[in-house]
Amino acid sequence: MKKHWHELAAGEVERLLSSNASAGLTSLEADKQLAVHGFNELKEKPRETLWQKFVNQFKDFLVLILIAASLISVLVGEVTDSIVIIAIVLLNALLGVFQEAKAEKALAALKEMTAPNSKVLRDGEITIIPSKLLVPGDVVLLEAGDYIPGDLRFIESHNVKVQEASLTGESVPVEKSTDPVGSTASLADRHNMGFMSTVVTYGRGKGIVVGTGMQTEIGKIAEMLQSVEEDSSPLQKKLAEFGKMLGVLCLFVCALVFGLGVYSGYSDGVLEMAEVQLMLMTSISLAVAAIPEGLPTVVTIVLALGMQRMAKKNSIMKKLHAVETLGSISVICSDKTGTLTQNQMTVVKAFTLERMIDLSGEGYDPKGEFFRDGSTVDLSEEQDLAFLLKGSSLCNDAQLKQASDTGAWHIVGDPTEGALVVAAAKGGYIQSKLTADYPRIQELPFDSTRKMMTTFHHMEGRDLAFTKGAPDILLSRCTHIAVNGSIHPLTPQERNSIAVANQEMASHALRVLAVAYRAWDSIPDAPNAAEVEEQLIFIGLLGMIDPPRLEVRDAVAVCRSAGIRPIMITGDHPDTALAIAKDLGIASQSSLAITGSQLDTLSPAELQQLVQTASVFARVSPEHKMAIIDALRSNGQIVAMTGDGVNDAPALKKADIGVAMGITGTDVTKETADMVVADDNFATIVSAVEEGRVIYANIRKFVYFLLSCNASEILVILFAILLGWPIPLLPIQLLWINLVTDAFPALALGVEKKEPNVMKLKPRNPAEPLLTWKLQVMIGIQSLAMAVTVLGAFKYGLYAYEGDLGVARTFAFITLITTQVICAFAARSEHYSVFQLGFFSNKYLNAGAALSLFLLLLSVYGPLHVIFKTIEPGLNEWLFLLALSPLPFLATELTKLVLRLSTKEDSQVTNSIAK
């Protein structure tokens, strides 16, 4: 092309792209274009290959220690030990690669689930498609809150304004038009173009896609940039630092063990090189066994698997750190519509002056009747009601659709507007016919500041503007009223009657919209809200209900028991909001709704005091939401905030966890949020909080298990040296124990099911250390019990078999593995006895324990026993060792009981088990 898209007239753009402004592309043509241009997505930096991932596993500080240990083993002639160390390093590396690949796959799946959609015209129908399937020639429909999915030429603009700061640097939104622009116009001056990844902040429009993917302006920038690497979560960083600190501590302890061992040998007067070599290899092997080199990797896979589980329950976590924060949530600030309610608005009452009419029917099915005082109403005799229904359907952007396969009715657009379309259809006024007979000529789109919308139509020889909006605001703009087809000035008594009717409907949890109109001599070319939405003629009120979701009542009760306070923050009428809040248990019967105008009169300190008790905020603006969150956080609360509109984005960003609605949420809120709720359901948020608590608890469990096992191995060697005994475990045996017990049971603990009391505990304090004092006590007692038990088995072997070190070391070897495997079951809970949970209820732990014990048998009875220098124990030996092995497990269970009783947890645990 010689000309740029912005130079061409809209019709010329249509012709060149073989598109149609009113029908869009055909599906066949769209498929052809997709084959030519590819997916509408930016190319990312090539991902690491499996080989690169494998090599990266050897860059960790702890792994370098292991490699150094292997080299030292070769130098001192212990080739077998060196091979075992390298085998462990390679196995950990392969496990790390597998876990990274799985986590990457999980995150890619989540990214796919959160990919934005586009509303386009295909085959003459409005269709919602994934934005990556967008092709040049597609006609895209846009409204406030939408991301522009590709570069496009506007062919229709109704007061459209676009925020382009990310691309052009313009600090204020740019108003868009459809007129051609000069060829030399800069990017910022191309007022008829929309650019990929910019945001529509106002109005409604239509554009033809002229560039996708890397052919867009943002794509040109992407070619010069590398994709931003995903940063580690705070927990991962904390664990990585913890692992390094532990590694250094282990090296120090192992050096101490070596020094004490050498000193002990030298005190006999003769220092043999073989003894020094044994102590060196023992210290090296102890370091290998004690260092939790796989800790950060295990955490990553547990978080990724947790995110997958949450996604299956409609909670899509966009950031790993959000999973950790969920466990600390103490307040959930929720919108009402669609989150606490079903988001299927149904008009149940209509009011024209002194006439209240009931409507039957539910949801979006356009079947229902009109009643007054129990009698059916004939709409041909209700001129005002008929006009009210027509006006509400015409001043409307929603569309009523019926699925071709199921026959189910649904709304494309706002549910509140959809309810008006359905109500009109019940009266026989089908929207498609109304818009064909009285097409929209001009409009003023709805925005959250005016809380009104106006459309212009030529109807029955007159130019009319229909306006709908909040009753209190719209009524203040009305000067006249239509009664039985005649118009007269609105009297104070009539204003009071309308206000009473509005109050009556709102008190029954109905959402009320008012409809008015105004006649014009000619429709203005550029309507101004300040002029158009004045001197209106009042027609009537429509009251609709969005019934509460049945599952929300139980979810609210769960919140209460978990120490989480639910708060409703809505733009709805205070009476409507309060009625729903009381019904769901969010507010008590004596509670009051706090309005935005009341908030304006409060100082920050007064608001901080108020939010400690208030549970319902109504008629609030985005600024009010920000102030409420600030006040809650100033009180030390950890806040989750839900939202769906563009104006909710700042509040979502301010909250500790921003939660966007997946169905009704705009692209802006989904991009800003930490979490997307696919079904717009409050109960799903509560379920996600529960899952977040479970994930964090499981991370603590396997950290506790790994540390107690590693500490026990150090204590066994250290105590033996201090007692002047021979070394109970050979280096190669220590390495094998580390491999057998650390890998499989630890991973199984990472997928432990939730404990009965997980939503009975208070929210976790974010400042709380990973290892609480209780866990530290349990680690100390369990590791000490394991060490004493292993040393007891070792000493018995020496005593009963006349100093045979082979037998004694085999006893210690078997006992340490079996005690650690059994103690893995005790690590399944910090609070409960494993017998309360069901000893074998974790099938993954059962399999991990079985595999560990199978490898133990291989190392004792199979060909491997030569390598590990073990003897084959008989039945009597096994009976003795199996009787000894559960002792550390019993000590751990007894410790739990004592801690429960000392901290008054026992009754809580018992009650939750009973329930």
pLDDT tens digits for 147-204?
Answer: 899 999 999 998 888 877 656 655 567 889 999 998 888 787 899 999 987 888 778 8
- For 473-493, what is each residue's pLDDT tens digit? 999 999 999 998 899 999 999
pLDDT at 225 over 60: no
Coil, strand or helix at 847:
helix
**What pLDDT was estimated at residue 914?**
38
- For 453-465, what is each residue's pLDDT tens digit? 999 999 988 999 9
Helices 273-290 & 79-113 angle (0-180, nearest 10): 10
User: 209: which strand partners?
Assistant: 152
What does the pLDDT average to over 22-35? 92
- For 822-844, what is each residue's pLDDT tens digit? 999 999 988 888 888 888 899 99
Range scoring the smallest mean pLDDT among 8-17, 247-256, 760-769: 247-256
Superfamily of domain 233-309+688-914 in the CATH hierarchy: Calcium-transporting ATPase, transmembrane domain (1.20.1110.10)
The domains of the chain are located at 5-44+114-222, 233-309+688-914, 317-340+549-680, 346-545
Q: Which residue is it, tokens 């979560």?
A: 233
Greater pLDDT, 687 or 100: 687
pLDDT at 441 over 70: yes
Superfamily of domain 346-545 in the CATH hierarchy: Calcium-transporting ATPase, cytoplasmic domain N (3.40.1110.10)
Q: In sequence order, which residues have a C-beta less than 8 Å from that of residue 556 and are 6 or more positions away? A: 566, 584, 585, 586, 682
Show which residues are catalytic.
335
**What pLDDT was estimated at residue 784?**
96
- For 700-735, what is each residue's pLDDT tens digit? 888 889 889 888 988 888 888 888 888 898 877 877
Sign of the C-alpha dihedral, residues 518, 520, 523, 525?
A: negative
Nearest to 331 by CA among 653, 612, 599: 612
pLDDT at 407 over 90: no
Sheet of strand 616-618, all strands in order from the earlier edge strand to the far edge: 315-317, 675-677, 657-661, 639-643, 331-334, 565-569, 616-618, 594-595
Alpha helices of 508-593 — where are they, by DSSP H?
A: 529-532, 550-561, 574-584
1 pLDDT tier (thresholds 50, 70, 90): very low
Greater pLDDT, 319 or 339: 339
What does the pLDDT average to over 58-85? 66
CB 431 within 8 A of CB 439: no
The CA-atom distances, in angstroms, between 448 and each of 140, 567, 622 are: 23, 21, 9
Q: Which residue is it, tokens 């995110």?
A: 307
pLDDT at 110 over 70: no
Neighbouring C-beta atoms of residue 273, cutoff 10 Å: 8
pLDDT at 69 over 70: no
Among 302-306, 701-705, 746-750, name the most confident range: 701-705
CB 464 within 8 A of CB 443: no
**CATH topology for the 317-340+549-680 domain:** Rossmann fold (3.40.50)
pLDDT at 902 over 90: no
What does the pLDDT average to over 313-341? 82
- For 354-395, what is each residue's pLDDT tens digit? 789 999 987 788 999 999 988 898 888 888 999 999 999 999
CB 170 within 8 A of CB 164: yes
**What pLDDT was estimated at residue 751?**
84
* Structural class in CATH, domain 5-44+114-222: mainly beta
Positions of E strands within 84-196: 117-122, 125-130, 139-143, 151-163, 174-175, 193-194
pLDDT at 324 over 80: no
915 pLDDT tier (thresholds 50, 70, 90): very low
- pTM for the model: 0.66
**What pLDDT was estimated at residue 538?**
97
66 pLDDT tier (thresholds 50, 70, 90): low
Q: Which helix (H) or strand (E) holds 64?
A: helix 61-75
**What pLDDT was estimated at residue 487?**
93
Q: Which helix (H) or strand (E) holds 488?
A: strand 486-489
Calpha distance 194→175 (Å, rounded): 11
**What pLDDT was estimated at residue 729?**
85
Among 31-45, 78-92, 482-496, name the most confident range: 482-496
912 pLDDT tier (thresholds 50, 70, 90): very low
**What pLDDT was estimated at residue 674?**
85
CB 194 within 8 A of CB 179: no
**What pLDDT was estimated at residue 107?**
46
Calpha distance 838→737 (Å, rounded): 27
54 pLDDT tier (thresholds 50, 70, 90): confident
Q: In sequence order, which residues have a C-beta less than 8 Å from that of residue 75 and are 6 or more positions away? A: none
- For 549-587, what is each residue's pLDDT tens digit? 888 899 999 999 999 999 999 877 788 788 889 989 999
pLDDT at 62 over 70: no
Q: In sequence order, which residues have a C-beta less than 8 Å from that of residue 839 and are 6 or more positions away? A: 825
Q: In terms of DSSP bridges, do strands 331-334 and 565-569 run parallel, antiparallel, or are they unpaired?
A: parallel
Sign of the C-alpha dihedral, residues 898, 904, 909, 910?
A: positive
**What pLDDT was estimated at residue 339?**
81
Average of per-residue pLDDT values in the chain: 83
**What pLDDT was estimated at residue 57?**
67
Residue type, 748: A
